[in-house]
């Protein structure tokens, strides 16, 4: 029952992010989502493997990555997503539709392994689709990075199905790869802002070889 409560909270945080315009607020919602997500391995399979995964998630997703995102905000002096590609109201509706689609797909999906919770797979699908929606509906590079991280949170939920069978080194390697990817994105966003005075990715279409 507690796991279901956590999974519902994770989905709600993702949906709330879709309706938020302030980048600082979006990052804090992502922090809360990641904190709740980091607890799930201990509930699924309490042990050393799960404890290490929880610790790694907290260090990377609750402290290091949000710290990097706040650094990006400070250095680009951008506080809000003023003109999204798709309006906030429409994005919220689309987010709700995607959550329903995720549950419909999960109901028809034959998962070959035993599920810890019936909400695990639909929650994972929901995060992947909401993260993708955030990436394509927003113009600021920082918001798109957060969309990418939400998608990764969904993939992490999928991995809980195989928590006891997946080598710890593989999971740690994936988390470190994601951190390096976000670090590189932060550097790129900073350079884009210095070169063009904005992080609006639509302006990149004006580049010519």
The model's pTM is 0.85
CA distance 69 to 42: 27
> What tokens does 66 get?
């949000």
pLDDT score, position 203: 61
pLDDT score, position 100: 97
pLDDT score, position 164: 61
Spell out, as residue ranges, where the chain has pLDDT lower than 50: none
Facing residues of 140 across strands?
200
CA distance 163 to 20: 33
Residues 6+ apart with CB under 8 A from 68: 182, 183, 186
- Tens of pLDDT, residue by residue over 48-94, are 878 888 888 898 889 988 998 898 888 877 788 878 889 999 999 99
Contact criterion met (CB below 8 Å) for 53 and 44: no
The phi, psi pair for 84, rounded to 5°, reads -70, 155
pLDDT score, position 162: 73
Facing residues of 80 across strands?
22
Reduced 3-state DSSP string for the chain: CHHHHHHHHHHHHHHHHHCCCEHHHHHHHHHHHHHHHHHHHHHHCCCHHHHHHHHHHHHHHHHHHHHHHHHHHHHHCCCECCCCCCCHHHHHHHHHHHHHHHHHHHHHCCCCCCCCCCCHHHHHHHHHHHHHHHHHHCCEHHHHHHHHHHHHHHHHHHHHHHCCCCCHHHHHHHHHHHHHHHHHHHHHHHHHHHHHCCCEHHHHHHCCC
């Amino acid at each position: 029952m507690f796991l279901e409560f956590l999974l519902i909270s994770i989905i709600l945080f993702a949906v709330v992010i879709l309706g938020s315009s302030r980048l600082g607020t979006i990052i804090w919602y992502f922090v809360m989502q990641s904190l709740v997500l980091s607890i799930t391995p201990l509930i699924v399979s309490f042990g050393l493997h799960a404890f290490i995964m929880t610790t790694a998630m907290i260090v990377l997703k609750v402290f290091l990555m949000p710290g990097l995102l706040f650094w990006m905000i400070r250095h680009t002096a951008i506080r809000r997503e003023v003109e999204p590609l798709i309006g906030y109201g429409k994005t919220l509706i689309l987010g709700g539709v995607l959550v329903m689609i995720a549950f419909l797909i999960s109901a028809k999906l034959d998962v070959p392994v035993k599920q810890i919770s019936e909400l695990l797979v639909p929650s994972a699908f929901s995060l992947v689709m909401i993260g993708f929606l955030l990436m394509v509906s927003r113009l600021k590079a920082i918001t798109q990075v957060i969309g990418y991280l939400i998608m990764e949170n969904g993939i992490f939920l999928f991995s809980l199905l195989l928590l006891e069978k997946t080598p710890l080194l593989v999971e740690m390697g994936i988390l470190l790869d994601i951190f390096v990817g976000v670090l590189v994105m932060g550097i790129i966003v900073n350079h884009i802002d210095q070169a063009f005075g904005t992080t609006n990715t639509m302006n990149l279409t004006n580049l010519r070889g």
